[in-house]
Amino acid sequence: MIEDRNTFIVRCGEVALKGLNKPYFERMLVDRIKRALKKYPGIEVKRNEGLIFVRAQKEFDADLIVGDISRVFGVASISPAVETVSDMDEIGQAAVEYMLRLIEKKGVKTFKVDAKRADKNFPVKSPDIAKTIGAKVLIGCKVLKVDVHNPDCLLFVDVRKDKSYIYEQKISGFGGLPLGTNGKGMILLSGGIDSPVAAWLMAKRGMLIEAVHFHSYPYTSERAREKVVDLAGIVAGYCGRFKMHVINLLPIQELIVQNCPEEETTILVRRFMMKIAEKVAQETDCCMLITGENLGQVASQTAEALVVTDQSVQMPVMRPLIAMDKVDIMDIAKNIGTFETSILPYEDCCTVFLPKHPATKPKLAKILVSESRLEVEQLVADAVASKETITIYPAE
Ligand code: ATP
Ligand code: MG
């Protein structure tokens, strides 16, 4: 008999490779899946024998549930499955009903059974399970033929101790580690392509995210800020609700322009951004800063400039995109849904007061001389005090 609930088998990626900590990571993953599915009342999420089983009422759209599970970091793949009693007759009957539906839905004409016996006490061995269930399907579904080389449907039969499972698809998740298993990081989030990807990549490794965004209002517009909020919402679709601290950098930018050499503007602005972000990060228990910087991409991201930027703070700075090619970053942005918003043509505070010839090989000693003309500590403290903190909710 086919069950009256939809069942989903969820496979853990790297979590499955963990040693003694495995139960902890599995618990965290179950918790994250539960959170992602809390909009479906009565849903059940349980771990068993290294897998996670999700069971939901039939009235909920199975494709939507698969989509929601697939965005949970730590999930390697998902199979919508039919659950049945571990008994050859029951499995056979369920397999026939399953294939009849697939014939109707997808016009499947050929199939092959791939059977696995996780319960070694089950009296029938895997190859015999495949043969017997295959024969039952052939009798029950007259239009079907077996094709062992290139079947329309590879029918998996997974026989376990209490229950057995029948499915045909393995839908990929993103892998990674469950959120909350790797501290919290502060992402410097601009409206560009790179920083949302950087945030996503770190969150994928289990890191909780908090963000700081700088603007130069009124040089940058209200629309530019909304764009960043929208982008953050897309990222929150993966890493859950988070806080974003919004800070006007214009007073500092103006002082830099008035007091320091023009070619140093960019690097000086970047060092201020880092210092302010570090202070906010310390206040909010973030253990590292994260940026979307990428070696050689622009003048402020030459090796020399990155070193001088780094020397503005004590906190470790993670740059997950450092060695990636732009096309690969863009591919991730497209895949996670941030790209279309990132390319909307709104100005960023980095583009305000852009020097004609930015210093590509800045020297720390010279930069420190320029900074000595400014009340750096006070300016950083003022900027932190002026921050506006908003909560970012996952985009619908
Ligand atoms: P992105 O595509 O993320 O905007 P980018 O290629 O435009 O990056 P830059 O503008 O030089 O590069 O910025 C490098 C990094 O500095 C960004 O990835 C981001 O982490 C941070 N950053 C830049 N502008 C801002 C901003 N307005 N607010 C917060 N962080 C910023
Ligand atoms: Mg940018």
- The predicted-structure confidence for 253-283, as pLDDT tens digits, reads as follows 999 999 999 999 999 999 999 999 999 999 9
Q: What is the pLDDT of residue 2?
A: 53
Ligand positioned closest to the Cα atom of 200: 1
Ligand 1 near 300 CB (within 6 A)? yes
**Which of 55, 4, 9 shows the shortest CA–CA distance to 157?**
9
pLDDT at 16 over 80: no
The average pLDDT across 186-205 equals 97
The average pLDDT across 290-315 equals 94
How far, in Å, is the centroid of ligand 2 from the Cα of 194? 7
Determine the atom of ligand 1 nearest the C-alpha atom of 187: 20
Ligand positioned closest to the Cα atom of 273: 1
Contact call for residues 153 and 99 (beta carbons, < 8 A): yes
- DSSP label at residue 113: E
Q: What is the pLDDT of residue 346?
A: 82
Ligand positioned closest to the Cα atom of 247: 1
- Out of 193, 195, 276, 336, mutate this one to test ligand 1's pocket (max ligand atoms within 8 Å of CB): namely 195
Residue 223: how many CB atoms within 10 A of its CB? 12
How far, in Å, is the centroid of ligand 2 from the Cα of 343? 11
User: Which DSSP string corresponds to 17-44?
Assistant: G-STTHHHHHHHHHHHHHHHTTTSTT-E
The average pLDDT across 165-181 equals 95
Lowest-pLDDT range of 20-24, 68-72, 114-118, 162-166: 20-24
Q: What is the pLDDT of residue 15?
A: 78
More confident residue, 249 or 161: 249
Task: Compute CA 235 distance to the chain's CA centroid, rounded to the nearest angstrom.
Answer: 7
Contact call for residues 250 and 217 (beta carbons, < 8 A): yes
CATH fold for the domain made of 2-172: VC0802-like (3.30.2130)
**Cα 203 from Cα 177, distance rounded (Å):** 8
What pLDDT, in 10s, does the model give residues 352-368?
A: 788 888 888 999 999 99
Ligand 1 near 134 CB (within 6 A)? no
For atom 1 of ligand 1, the residue with the nearest CA is 192
What pLDDT, in 10s, does the model give residues 308-318?
A: 999 999 999 99
Cα separations in angstroms, 52 against 12, 166, 178, 319: 8, 15, 13, 33
Residue 212's identity, in one-letter code, is V
Radius of gyration of the chain from its Cα atoms, rounded to whole angstroms: 27
pLDDT at 4 over 80: no
Ligand 1 near 297 CB (within 6 A)? yes
Ligand 1 near 158 CB (within 6 A)? no
- Out of 248, 271, 280, 350, mutate this one to test ligand 1's pocket (max ligand atoms within 8 Å of CB): namely 350
Sign of CA dihedral 303, 306, 312, 317: negative
Q: What is the pLDDT of residue 299?
A: 80
pLDDT at 1 over 70: no
Query: Is domain 184-392 classified as CATH 3.40.50.300?
Result: no
**Cα 176 from Cα 79, distance rounded (Å):** 18
**Cα 207 from Cα 291, distance rounded (Å):** 14
Ligand 1 near 248 CB (within 6 A)? no
pLDDT at 239 over 80: yes
- Residue 18 pLDDT level (bands cut at 50, 70, 90): confident
How far, in Å, is the centroid of ligand 2 from the Cα of 377? 25
Cα separations in angstroms, 103 against 98, 107, 152, 389: 9, 4, 10, 54
Q: Where are the domains of the chain?
A: 2-172, 184-392
Q: Tell me the percentage of the chain whose pLDDT exceeds 90.
A: 88
Ligand 1 near 249 CB (within 6 A)? no
Q: What is the pLDDT of residue 3?
A: 61
Ligand positioned closest to the Cα atom of 306: 1
pLDDT at 21 over 90: no
